[in-house]
Amino acid sequence: MLELFRCEFRRYALWSILVCVSAICLLFFLSKLKPLFEASTEQSALTSVIMFLGSFLFGFLQMFLHKRKNHWTFLIHRPLSPGRIYLSLMSAGAVCLVIALFVPWLTVTFIHDLFTGHVIDNRHYLYAFFALFTAFFAYLVGNLTAISSYKGSFTALIMLYLILDANPKTPFLQMLPIIILCAMFVYLNLVSFRVDLKKPLDNALPIVLITSVTSFAMIFLLLLSTTIFYHIPRFIAGNHPDNNPVAGSYHALWQFEQGEQAEYVLQNSDYGLKEQLVDQLELAEMEYLRIRPWNFMQPGQVYTRDVQYALEHNQTNSIWQFSHDSMLLEGREKLSSEPLGFLGKNGFVTKAEDIGEADRFTSVPFLVRDRFLVTSDAIYELNYEERSFLIKHQPGAGEYYVSGPQITDLFVYVVTNKQTYIFNRSVLLDEFQVAEAEYVIPHPASVYEIDFAKAYRMVDGYVMWYQGRFLNGYDQSGVHMTYARLDGQIEQIASREFTQYPHPPWIRHFDVMISPLLYLAQVQVYHFLEPEVKTSLYLPTSQVWRQMEKHGTSYVAIALNLISLFVAFILLRRQHNSLQVNISWYLMIGIIGLPALACLVLMTPWTWSSPLTFFRARHA
Amino acid sequence: MPKTHPISIQIVTGDARPIFRQIVDGIRMDIACGNLPVGSKLPSVRGLALQLVINPNTVAKAYSELTSQGLVESRQGLGLFVAQPRQLLNQTEQDKQLNDAIETFINDIAYLDFEQDQVLHKVSQAINRITKKQADGG
Amino acid sequence: MSQFCIQTSALTKQFGNKLALNNFSINLSQGGIHAIVGSNGAGKSTLFRLLLGMETPTSGSSVILGEDPQKMSPQTRGLVGYVNEEHTLPPWMKAGQVVQMQKHFYPDWQQHRYEEVVGYFDVDPQQKVSGLSRGERAGLNLAIAMAQNPKILILDEPTLGLDVVSKQSFLEALMFADESQQVTVIYCSHQMEEIERVADELIVMEQGKLTHHSTPEAFVDRISSWLVDINGHKLDADLIPGFLVSKKIDDQHQITVIDHQGDLAAMIGAHEVQQVPVNLEQAINSFLSKNHRRPAARS
């Protein structure tokens, strides 16, 4: 085994060392341009793409080169079990990834830690591991794509999107899914790496694993397919709703001007002064509110998810950077990198030994302007000259900010999960004292179901506009309008539901319809990874299902599942699989439905010779 | 240990005769012409196979053919040697072979411009040469 | 274990609509060099791949050294050597490194045999495999395969593209490095003079079927060729049982038949018939061309 590992490693050693050296050079060059560990979408997107694509291609190429007929015989025809042969090759590949990706990150992080004033936390080191595991996963998928007869193997890459998109609460949860995935794919590759590569999988477990993983991708592909069989034909026919808005539908709002929109929503309202209001709204100053919940930063999260890098205060020439290890802001002199002390929940601390547990933040703050710290439950203001610290605002019990304060020329808007606070700009920004909100306006619906909120500034207060595709529940769009007056009186002036839909229900409910249980499972996984975030995706299942029943799509979903089972029956009847293989397929398709059927089709060897034998298995 | 007598036969691939037949014929001719006197040692199977770059099994087959024809004999542990000529065919077989040979011969010379006497003379000369060589070798 | 080291029974392999191997049944006894000949695409490589377990048969079964190739144990795999026409070895490794690596896998590694075989070729162990000549690579490959002390050695057109000298070295090494003569060699080649020199047994494959299996001599004995004069009449091949191929030479026909019986002259009304000798190459060519010339030929 070791010999084969050595042989394979020799093949790529030089290349991985070259990549390693050039990556180190590149990273140092980048760190001269900007702080290397400052999260930047471009940088992390680019590194991710290069890393994953590179690892995937490397994994694919490595196995592809071995798969060529005579090379395959040379490799596999030796007194060593295929499993051990694969492990030798895979370890060689893994070592190459460590050299090419892990070593550069670790080196650069370590050097930053030792020789610069930048705050380097454990999470920065953890990122090297996280990157390594994600790249290793891409590599394993590349391996599988080359060796497996399953044509959908590569779609497992979609897992990377889910992993990178999720914002888990702890570093453990950050690492857990990708480690599980890697273990799963090592297993899948081991069972797929067989002397006769064309032999289909004949065990239940690998079939269940690969189907569950790639079914997510199949959902995505099936969703894309609606473009081909629904949207494009309707565009060609010239009656696509995007070009021909359906009157009375939520989507039709978009074609209206500001005033017309208000008129449209107010149509059925009892409000007395509709016409005047429409005229006023047409002229009123309007502000879109940041009502979509932000992902608040989690302690120990990977640095690429950071929102800010550091607080820079120009008057004092200081830089304050939040350390997730100490849960404090650590200050340094801008030019000399001289340490300037710490800043905790209770204010400035000069010496490290004076820091108490109470000083440490419990959540990671946003840094706003050059002197505001915003955690989900308080806005703090700093005074650098006096080195003092003030809690500027705190929401009520059970309330938390969903986004950072939105500062306009005259007003500052702060949105919590329950209500909107509107401050006078000068109160919040200019005075070093506790800020009192001018208006406090409760949300008419759950903040997670509101897609947009707009604030119209009127002479005597605000007209708030809330709209959402799922405002009144799953697939029940709506708009609410609230009048908040200076005297504190709040009046709901309109609530419009949209009963007309531009698309038929089977398009609107497509994602749930093709696999209700997978939809549910996905929701549960997200809940597990980020329990706090509840966007409109996470509506109660019972509610979703009720709405689907109303439109009949629940029956379509059941029918689709039954049809999938029937098609699976036809496909499987022609193959000579073992009982456990057939049972696992029926189970998977029974549970997951159409996406699992897509997996089965992609796993069935096709023969193109004649239409009749289209799906006949090559292996009798 | 008796010294091996070299064999100078050539084999030709692509010949209508299989290789083992070529070896048998070659060695027979060498023995007949006296190039391989009685009692001389033949190369080992492996040795001759190496010399001719052929499968040793083929040489072994040729040698066993020669042995069964009585042209060579094996001495336990020493190898193969050219045997004292003795007749292994019975009278009928000998008659048949002689007749076959004469028929071929007559076919070949039928259209040549020789008198019968001249032909007979040459034939008896050739026969004398062989018997003399065999006598010398023996 | 049975006396046969390889047995196949009704082995069939279908790729799409093409039958690469069709009801192929053969028993190969231990020892000796078994030469397989056949046109390109006759199914030789498919047979090897099935015997090595790289493919799964559509139907039928095979046994190699007492095991099902699809479930061959690593130990048995170690007893089957394989050399292909590309002489695949990791090109990024030095010759010596490849040998060091392979040595580790085979507990019964015969270093002296390796050295003997490699001695026929001039392989520098410090040279990278990619830098070796074709002949050296073939030699290295054969040396490694033979040093593994295999019971069966499968050679798939091993001398393809080799120059005369390397070819000769290859054959010498193959025939003489194994002093025990216990290795069963399966040798597939298009080079008739090689087969003539090395083959103990001749196996002829056509379109996935086994069409002949005997010694080369017995095969040549089955084929006979005749020069016939039929007075300018058209030759009716259907009248001749076992007809393989005919060639017009001036106003005569040379007819090659298999398992000739009866009076040829009477069959086709020729006034003069003369037998001409046939060598192995001609015999095999005539035998194989039967199906090319006459696709509808009777069996």
- Per-residue pLDDT tens for A346-356? 888 888 888 88
Q: Tell me the average pLDDT across A358-377.
A: 85
Q: Tell me the average pLDDT across A416-420.
A: 91
Q: In chain C, what residues touch A79 (CB-CB under 8 Å)? A: 74-75, 77-78, 105-106
Distance CA A506, CA A537 (A): 18
Whether A180 contacts A98, CB under 8 Å:
no
Radius of gyration of chain A (CA): 29
Q: C touches B (3+ CB pairs < 8 Å)?
A: yes
Mutate to test the interface with C, among A73, A89, A96 (most CBs of C within 10 A): A73
Distance CA A79, CA A147 (A): 20
pLDDT value of position A532 = 62
Task: Determine, for residues B57 and C32 on separate chains, whether the beta-carbon distance falls below 8 Å.
Answer: yes
Which of helix, strand or coil describes residue C87? coil
Exposed (0-12), middle (13-18) or buried (19+): which is C228, by Cβ within 10 Å?
Answer: buried
User: What would the pLDDT profile of A523-581 be if each residue is shown by its tens digit?
Assistant: 777 777 666 655 556 677 888 888 889 888 999 999 999 999 999 998 888 777 889 99
Q: In chain B, what residues touch C216 (CB-CB under 8 Å)? A: 18
Distance CA C66, CA C64 (A): 5
The answer to whether the Cα torsion of A343, A346, A348, A353 is positive or negative is: negative
Q: How far is A195 from chain C (nearest CA, A)?
A: 5
pLDDT value of position A416 = 92
pLDDT value of position C299 = 37
Taking all residues of chain A, what is their mean pLDDT, rounded to a whole number? 87
Q: Please determine, for residue A464, whether its predicted confidence score (pLDDT) is greater than 90.
A: yes
Q: In chain C, what residues touch A618 (CB-CB under 8 Å)? A: 15
B15 closest CB neighbour out of C33, C181, C279 = C279
Q: C touches A (3+ CB pairs < 8 Å)?
A: yes
pLDDT band of residue A302 (cuts 50, 70, 90) is confident
Mutate to test the interface with C, among B22, B23, B53 (most CBs of C within 10 A): B53
pLDDT band of residue A20 (cuts 50, 70, 90) is very high
Radius of gyration of chain B (CA): 17
pLDDT value of position B135 = 62
- CA distances, A604 to each of A214, A576, A614 (Å): 15, 11, 10
pLDDT value of position A449 = 84
pLDDT value of position B85 = 74
Mutate to test the interface with B, among C256, C276, C280, C286 (most CBs of B within 10 A): C280
Task: Determine, for residues C104 and A3 on separate chains, whether the beta-carbon distance falls below 8 Å.
Answer: yes
Which of helix, strand or coil describes residue A112? helix
pLDDT value of position C12 = 92
Secondary structure, 3-state, A386-452: CCEEEEEECCCCCCCECCCCEECCCEEEEEECCEEEEEEHHHHHCCCCCCCCCEEEECCCCHHHCCE
Q: Please determine, for residue A608, whether its predicted confidence score (pLDDT) is greater than 70.
A: no
User: What would the pLDDT profile of A70-112 be if each residue is shown by its tens digit?
Assistant: 899 999 999 999 999 999 999 999 999 999 999 999 999 999 9
Comparison of pLDDT for C282 and A431, the residue scoring more: C282
H/E element, C63: strand C59-64
Mutate to test the interface with C, among B58, B64, B65, B107 (most CBs of C within 10 A): B58
Task: Determine, for residues B18 and C217 on separate chains, whether the beta-carbon distance falls below 8 Å.
Answer: yes
pLDDT value of position B88 = 59
Task: Determine, for residues C277 and B16 on separate chains, whether the beta-carbon distance falls below 8 Å.
Answer: yes
User: What would the pLDDT profile of C15-38 be if each residue is shown by its tens digit?
Assistant: 878 889 999 999 998 888 999 998
B19 closest CB neighbour out of C168, C196, C277 = C196
User: What would the pLDDT profile of C218-247 be if each residue is shown by its tens digit?
Assistant: 898 888 888 888 777 777 777 788 888 888
pTM: 0.87
Q: Please determine, for residue A316, whether its predicted confidence score (pLDDT) is greater than 60.
A: yes
Minimal Cα distance from C91: which residue of A? Answer: A11
Minimal Cα distance from B56: which residue of C? Answer: C175
Residues of chain B with pLDDT under 50: 138
Distance CA B135, CA A530 (A): 111
Residue from A105, A103, A96, A106 nearest A142 by CA: A96
Residue for token pair 């106003």? C251
Q: Tell me the average pLDDT across A58-65.
A: 96
User: What would the pLDDT profile of A257-296 be if each residue is shown by its tens digit?
Assistant: 877 888 888 887 888 888 888 888 888 888 999 888 877 7
Comparison of pLDDT for B7 and A510, the residue scoring more: A510
Q: Which residues pair with A540 in a beta bridge?
A: none
| Chain C contacts in chain A segment 530-589 (CB below 8 A) | none
N-term to C-term CA, chain C: 35
Residue for token pair 């009192």? A436
Residue from A486, A442, A446 nearest A464 by CA: A442
User: What would the pLDDT profile of A137-159 be if each residue is shown by its tens digit?
Assistant: 999 999 999 999 888 899 999 99
Task: Determine, for residues A196 and C80 on separate chains, whether the beta-carbon distance falls below 8 Å.
Answer: no
Task: Determine, for residues B55 and C278 on separate chains, whether the beta-carbon distance falls below 8 Å.
Answer: no
A73 closest CB neighbour out of C58, C74, C82 = C82
Q: In chain C, what residues touch B49 (CB-CB under 8 Å)? A: 175-176
Residue C254 structure tokens: 């040379």
Q: Please determine, for residue A64, whether its predicted confidence score (pLDDT) is greater than 80.
A: yes
C176 closest CB neighbour out of B15, B50, B57 = B50
pLDDT value of position A13 = 94
Q: Tell me the average pLDDT across A387-398.
A: 87
Instruction: Tell me the range of A92-106, A290-304, A386-400 where mean pLDDT is highest.
Output: A92-106
pLDDT value of position B9 = 84
Distance CA A41, CA A38 (A): 10
C197 closest CB neighbour out of B16, B17, B55 = B55
Neighbour subunits, B (≥3 Cβ pairs < 8 A)? C
**C86 has a chain B CB within 8 A of its CB:** no
Residues of chain C with pLDDT under 70: 1-2, 179-181, 291-299
Q: In chain C, what residues touch A196 (CB-CB under 8 Å)? A: 53-56, 70
- Please state the φ and ψ torsions of residue C214, each to the nearest 5 degrees: -165, -170
C82 closest CB neighbour out of A77, A198, A620 = A77
pLDDT value of position A19 = 95
| Chain A contacts in chain C segment 104-143 (CB below 8 A) | 104-106
Q: How many CB pairs under 8 A join B and C?
A: 51
Q: How far is A1 from chain C (nearest CA, A)?
A: 8
Q: In chain C, what residues touch B14 (CB-CB under 8 Å)? A: 192-193, 196, 279-281
pLDDT value of position A419 = 92
Comparison of pLDDT for A257 and A9, the residue scoring more: A9
Neighbours of A435 (CB within 10 A): 22
Q: How far is B58 from chain C (nearest CA, A)?
A: 8
User: What would the pLDDT profile of A165-218 be if each residue is shown by its tens digit?
Assistant: 777 878 888 899 999 999 999 999 999 999 988 888 888 999 999 999 999 889
Q: In chain C, what residues touch B16 (CB-CB under 8 Å)? A: 277-279
Q: In chain B, what residues touch C33 (CB-CB under 8 Å)? A: 55, 57
pLDDT value of position A38 = 85
pLDDT value of position A611 = 44
